[in-house]
Amino acid sequence: MSDPSIPGKTTAVVAYITIVGCLIAITMNIEDKNAYARFHIRQAFGIHVLFHALAIIMTYAGYAYLAIPVYLFYIAIWIFGFLQALNDKTKPLPLLGNYFQKWFKFIS
Interval 41-100: pLDDT, tens: 999 999 999 999 998 998 888 888 888 998 999 999 999 999 999 999 999 999 899 999
* pLDDT confidence of residue 47: 95
Q: Can you give the C-alpha Rg of the chain in angstroms?
A: 14
What is the distance between the alpha carbons of residues 99 and 83, in angstroms, rounded to a whole number?
Answer: 19
Mean pLDDT, rounded, for 14-37: 92
The distance from CA 81 to its chain's CA centroid, rounded to whole angstroms, is 7
Please state the pTM of the whole predicted model.
0.87
